[in-house]
Structure 1
Amino acid sequence: MKPDAEQPFIRILLVEDDEDDFVLTRDALRTISKGRMVLEWVDNGAQALAELKTGRHDVCLLDYRLDASTGLELLERMRQQGWLGPVILLTGMSDEALDEQALKAGAADFLDKSQLTPTLLARSIRYALQHARTLEALRRSQASFRALIERLPDGIGVTQDERLVYANPALVSLIGLSSADELLGGSRTELEALFIHAESRALLPRDDQAGAEAKGPPPPMEIRMVRKNGTPVFVELAHAPSVFDGQPCIVWLVRDLTERRQMEARLVRADRMASLGTLAAGIAHEINNPLAFTVANLSHLESDVLPRLKLPTGEQDDVRKLVSDAQFGATRVRDIVRQLKMFSRADEQVRPEPVEVNRVLESAISMASNEIKHRARLVRDFTDQLVAEAHEGRLGQVMVNLLVNAAQAIPEGNVELNEIRVLTRTHAEGLAIEVRDTGSGIPAENLERLFEPFFTTKPVGVGTGLGLPICQDIVTSFGGRMEVESEVGKGSTFRVILRAANVVRPSEAPKEAVVAAASRRGRILVVDDEPMIGMAIRRTLQREHEVIALTSAREAQARLTSGERFDVILCDLMMPEMSGMELHQAVASHSPGLAGRMVFLTGGAFTANARDFLNQVPNHRVEKPFSTQELRGLVQSLLAAAS
């Protein structure tokens, strides 16, 4: 407790029109004030209101009878004016009804002048001040709590007697309204008809049910709401009984699940892409091995075997045509596998780099051709030499998705009457790629939702609602954006806008290396767990070089570390017993120069370690399937460099 000298002054305003009563009150205060109470006196309501406006007073002692008006009427005017301090009503008569009426009006106390004593007045003033401080603290607490609710990102609604009495800004925004006034006062039946999807209305409890939970509030539920513009939104809804403005109520918490669903979509996409990438790389690797020796054997048949066969001219031409057709088919398979390998790397974390747009489009068209050819003519309208800041695999994934969507918007049959046009052009922001179709089109009300996860206009089992959101995420990661235009019955246009690359990506060096006219005979080691590949390479190179083919990397390690010399080592990268990476490490620790002569044959480096290894070592590599000219040229160039 502070010493008396440190106690604050209490300023009291007495509103009294009878001077004798003023003297009575003044004398009572002098007895109890001990110099800490300051009394000011006015004798009418107008003066009282003017004084209270100054905010200097802590307590108001108010006579119940003031000329033609009453103290209760003046009290109401004080509150309207904004003065919230404690008011003690003084009256010349004892009346319990007036006492109750005064307290309901907001008076802190009601005292009978005939029974007024210094002790009673002091007690009343102390109580009034303490009560006022408590109310002020409560008011500030409620104001802070209300401010907190107003700032919450989740929607908050309050219902009393099945009517909405409060809605915070987040709820108003979620529903798509401009003001809470459009909601307040509405019955639950009316609001549910407007803003709750028909399939979700039966899930909602009534207020009496929600308030009668004996074991606490139920767990949150997921429902669909409908915004003012008609678009649905998934939300999590929770409710609990509470008190609002002193009355029982139900508090509803509404959480927008859009961001959560987008995160779920990303997780699903990441898992799906990782699985597809692994599967695609594995398939590519398994196909490339038999394809490699098939291509090599066909080339050997064409260049070395056929010229030695003694066949009539007509039959020899027929055989050459058969070999040529087989080579063409193998080339098509090789291109498909390379595209598959490109998509197996679509989930790699890489920075955007210069990408030749037309090259990616040709690969995407090839992969989507089976969907397109039975539905529409495909028209290319390309601008030459467009290079985008992107990632080849991911951009290819986007274009395949857009092409397949365009095809599926067109019914099968009537191919000549329908068209899918792929167009590239320069754009103010860099460059644009458009996929236009003459399909069924998209209703205007669905255009805004096309990029929402899980939203699809396709039949159940055909679409997941993830394709376009994934495409948008990919394009956005490049610093680009997507646009869509559509009209029902006339078709759709999906536009991908990308930044143009500052430097044109250099074209790949031609793989058909020129064989040196003068070449020396070399000693070549082939290490591949697929025996047919070793045989095919030996057939290809044995006329110019000595070729030894092994199927075991460990056997190769033993021969290389024992001192046996080879000019070139053609080694498969991925082998079950011992990988080409491990063989390189073993040879490098024994003979670094010999490790530098290794050329890696890869059918798809589909592990992170393999990709990192190839990025770190300077050794040459040849992708399966390889052409005989490519292989011969590489061997001859390595022998020439070593001479």
Structure 2
Amino acid sequence: MSSRCSTNTGSRSSNSHAPTSLTRPEEDTHPIRVLLVEDDEDDFVLVRDALQSLLPRRVVLEWVDTCEQALAEMELGHYDICLLDYRLGASTGLELLAQARGKGWQGPAILLTGAADDEVDYRAMEAGAADFLTKSQLTPELLERSIRYTLQHARMLEALRRSQASFRELIERLPDGICVLQGEQLVYANPALVRLVGWDSPNELVGRSVRELEESLFHPDDQARLTLEFREAQREGRPVPPCELRLLRKEGDIVPVEIAQLSVVFDGQPSLVRIVRNLTERKQMQARLMLSDRMASLGTLAAGIAHEINNPLSYVMTNLSHLEADVLPRLVASGGDQEEIRKLVSDAQVGLVRVRDIVRQLKMFSRAEEQARPEPVDVQRVLEGSIRMAWNELRHRARLVRDYSEPLLAEADEGRLGQVVLNLLVNAAHAIPEGSVERNEIRVVTRRHPGGVAIEVRDTGSGIPANLLEKVFEPFFTTKPVGVGTGLGLSICREIVTSVGGRMEVESTVGRGSTFRLILRAATAPLQAQRAPQEQVHEAPARGRILVVDDEPMIGMAVRRSLQRHHEVVTLTSAREALVRLQGGEHFDLILSDLMMPEMSGMDLHLELSYRLPELAERMVFMTGGAFTPDARAFMERIGNSRLEKPFSTQELQELVRTRLRGAGREGR
């Protein structure tokens, strides 16, 4: 008796009646590979003949009669199905199947036995056999039905296995945290969930009870919600829609998450899947949108306040300047009295200059949405300006030390850089309690740096814990007490610095203080030299007829006082009235107009004159407290007309008028 036999059971002819196919039609061209493990040659013939008379197409049958040969063939994996005799000498087909499964063979198997036995049938199913057939009852139809069922069942199991493998691969790669619950235990956690909770490996989570994990991983205030929503849904077998909870990381951080729960079959078992999504980026984006909206509102408010302050500030400064330059010299007073009056006026002007600087800072906020325009900036000048602005905060908390290197030029937007330094100085002051001035220090340092220019603001304050250092630049994060800070300052500062190609760094030690460092690109072009004041030439000024248009009557009055000794000045509070008089042919050598006015603005007046009297449009000079609307900014960039920034002094006003009239070729009358 041969221990191994290979045979073709037959092939389909063109006129044969095709019985039920064992596989799908598209697979008919491929033979079914059958391995028969049978130690009795008569039983081999029985099975071969049943297959030969049954199958409508070619079948490759391999016969072996020992367990060793069978295991070797199974390891090759060349067979679609295996037929196992129950009695194989000293062993059994079930033992052979168990050995094969132990070595990784997962193919389908049918057990053949000489007599019906319910116990053997049960043991065959338990061992993983797809079917159990009695040889004495074996017919081609019964064998065909069993093979067809076994192959279909095998394909289904393979598809399920691949589906589960794909599902597992999918959730392994998902950025969202995934965990699978079976009963009261967590049986699976993907890498994203392990990273999210801050643990080292899935083994720390898998196998633990769900309630224990919930108590350790979620904020205590959210425990009741977990029980109410998730436990009830689990009992009722319904999904839980996404809801927000607070996750506690291993390091102690609180992370906002969104959790959903649904029922699935996992590894063949009914299970619950929880999907945990980190909401940190979404919250940060929402914060940035809120920041953008608040900054837009703040900019509008700052621009409006600056404009309203500029008007009274303009005429107060102009009147004081007029008083000092033109009125005081004509007063009949003793030398001492006149000097005292002059000193009072001078002090008042110094105070107004400080108010003007504050207003200019407000105007800078109103331009926050504009693109930064880097240019060479004198670093020391910016620092000194910011120190003056922050002095009231600094002087009650610490000694200020200036540690400047040689003069440095940096590529920056001067106004915005001043805003950054001002914020850092105020933050340094707030990190130091009041009343210990001699024991504390705020040091402002400048030096060259491999990246260009470095500016440091160091303090001896409370310091920042190491786990919070990475968060200090996040919007709305603050270490200050409630009501002291909004958490916006450092976020804005970093955006300003990065917008000009620089970067910000922070170092801090709790109890010893902090250092905030700005690293800016060094300027490659020289600083534009300011014109030295020219020596006053006492010549008769060209006399002109000047129209002043401003909706603030006091500004018109102050301008008229400053110019009326040498010029004829007409003041109006309405641009519409000015347009009527100009269209009526009234002559003016110069038109001083406010930019922003109700009903008809200076821009509208310029537009009307450009169409009808273009030579008068060219004579316009705009008095402006800041072009703080997009249309106004675009207008001022487009036209070539001169501007006079409010508040202005009498000297600035008179010099501008003298220059414009001289340029227009006016002769003295």
Query: Per the shorter chain, which TM-score range?
Result: over 0.9
Confirm whether residue 250 of structure 1 aligns to residue 272 of structure 2: yes
**Equivalent of 2:328 in 306, 311, 319:** 306
Q: State the match for 1:580 in structure 2.
A: 602
Confirm whether residue 211 of structure 1 aligns to residue 234 of structure 2: yes
Comparing 295-304 with 228-237, which one deviates more in the overlay? 228-237
Confirm whether residue 435 of structure 1 aligns to residue 457 of structure 2: yes
Rounded to whole Å, the distance in 1 between the matches of 2:146 and 2:537 is 113
User: Given the superposition, is the C-alpha separation of residues 40 and 459 from structure 1 closer, same or farther in structure 2, using an over 3 Å criterion?
Assistant: same
Q: State the match for 2:282 in structure 1.
A: 260
Rounded to whole Å, the distance in 2 between the matches of 1:13 and 1:400 is 86
Per-residue deviation, 1:263: 0.6
**Equivalent of 1:45 in 60, 67, 76:** 67
**Equivalent of 1:94 in 103, 106, 116:** 116
Per-residue deviation, 1:550: 1.4
Rounded to whole Å, the distance in 1 between the matches of 2:485 and 2:140 is 85
**Equivalent of 1:183 in 205, 208, 224:** 205
User: Given the superposition, is the C-alpha separation of residues 515 and 553 from structure 1 closer, same or farther in structure 2, using an over 3 Å criterion?
Assistant: farther
Task: Please list the CA deviations of residues 119-174 of structure 1 after superposition, one character each: whole Å capped at 9, or x if unmatched.
Answer: 11111111111111111222222222222212221111112232221111211121
Per-residue deviation, 1:93: 2.3
Confirm whether residue 493 of structure 1 aligns to residue 515 of structure 2: yes
Rounded to whole Å, the distance in 2 between the matches of 1:559 and 1:287 is 30
Q: What pairs up with 1:337-486 in 2 under 5 angstroms? A: 337-350=359-372, 352-383=374-405, 385-486=407-508
Rounded to whole Å, the distance in 1 between the matches of 2:415 and 2:153 is 72
Counterpart of 2:295, as a letter, is: M
Q: State the match for 1:161 in structure 2.
A: 183
Per-residue deviation, 1:506: 2.9
Rounded to whole Å, the distance in 2 between the matches of 1:564 and 1:623 is 27
User: Given the superposition, is the C-alpha separation of residues 496 and 632 from structure 1 closer, same or farther in structure 2, using an over 3 Å criterion?
Assistant: same
Rounded to whole Å, the distance in 2 between the matches of 1:82 and 1:129 is 19
Rounded to whole Å, the distance in 2 between the matches of 1:77 and 1:472 is 67
Counterpart of 1:33, as a letter, is: L
Per-residue deviation, 1:356: 4.2
The runs of at least 4 aligned residues of structure 1 exceeding 6 Å deviation read: 1-5, 510-516
Task: Specify the SS of the correspondent of 2:154.
Answer: helix
Q: Tell me the TM-score normalised to structure 2 length.
A: 0.90
Rounded to whole Å, the distance in 2 between the matches of 1:516 and 1:586 is 38
Counterpart of 1:50, as a letter, is: A
Per-residue deviation, 1:314: 1.2
Task: Please list the CA deviations of residues 88-140 of structure 1 after superposition, one character each: whole Å capped at 9, or x if unmatched.
Answer: 11122212222222223221111111211111111111111111111122222
User: Given the superposition, is the C-alpha separation of residues 568 and 395 from structure 1 closer, same or farther in structure 2, using an over 3 Å criterion?
Assistant: same
Q: State the match for 1:558 in structure 2.
A: 580
Contact 1:277/1:346 (CA < 8 Å) preserved in 2?
yes
Rounded to whole Å, the distance in 1 between the matches of 2:537 and 2:129 is 109
Task: Specify the SS of the correspondent of 1:520.
Answer: coil
Task: Please list the CA deviations of residues 416-440 of structure 1 after superposition, one character each: whole Å capped at 9, or x if unmatched.
Answer: 2211122222222222222211111
Task: Specify the SS of the correspondent of 1:521.
Answer: coil
Rounded to whole Å, the distance in 1 between the matches of 2:145 and 2:535 is 108
Q: What pairs up with 1:474-623 in 2 under 5 angstroms? A: 474-504=496-526, 506=528, 517=539, 519-623=541-645
Contact 2:243/2:260 (CA < 8 Å) preserved in 1?
yes
Counterpart of 2:100, as a letter, is: M
Comparing 469-478 with 587-596, which one deviates more in the overlay? 469-478
Q: State the match for 2:157 in structure 1.
A: 135
Q: State the match for 2:252 in structure 1.
A: 230
What RMSD, in angstroms, separates the aligned Cα atoms of the two structures? 2.5
Counterpart of 1:443, as a letter, is: P
Counterpart of 1:54, as a letter, is: L
Rounded to whole Å, the distance in 2 between the matches of 1:27 and 1:457 is 87
Structure 2 residue runs without a partner (length 5+): 1-20
Counterpart of 1:361, as a letter, is: L
Per-residue deviation, 1:76: 2.7
User: Given the superposition, is the C-alpha separation of residues 153 and 10 from structure 1 closer, same or farther in structure 2, using an over 3 Å criterion?
Assistant: same
Q: What pairs up with 1:59-138 in 2 under 5 angstroms? A: 59-138=81-160
Rounded to whole Å, the distance in 2 between the matches of 1:328 and 1:285 is 20
Rounded to whole Å, the distance in 2 between the matches of 1:144 and 1:5 is 25
Task: Specify the SS of the correspondent of 1:184.
Answer: coil
Comparing 159-168 with 573-582, which one deviates more in the overlay? 159-168
Counterpart of 2:490, as a letter, is: L
Per-residue deviation, 1:253: 1.3
Confirm whether residue 640 of structure 1 aligns to residue 662 of structure 2: yes
Structure 1 residue runs without a partner (length 5+): none
User: Given the superposition, is the C-alpha separation of residues 324 and 351 from structure 1 closer, same or farther in structure 2, using an over 3 Å criterion?
Assistant: closer
User: Given the superposition, is the C-alpha separation of residues 242 and 467 from structure 1 closer, same or farther in structure 2, using an over 3 Å criterion?
Assistant: farther
Contact 2:37/2:66 (CA < 8 Å) preserved in 1?
yes
Counterpart of 1:47, as a letter, is: Q
Task: Please list the CA deviations of residues 171-205 of structure 1 after superposition, one character each: whole Å capped at 9, or x if unmatched.
Answer: 11212334322321223354345433444444322
Counterpart of 1:347, as a letter, is: E
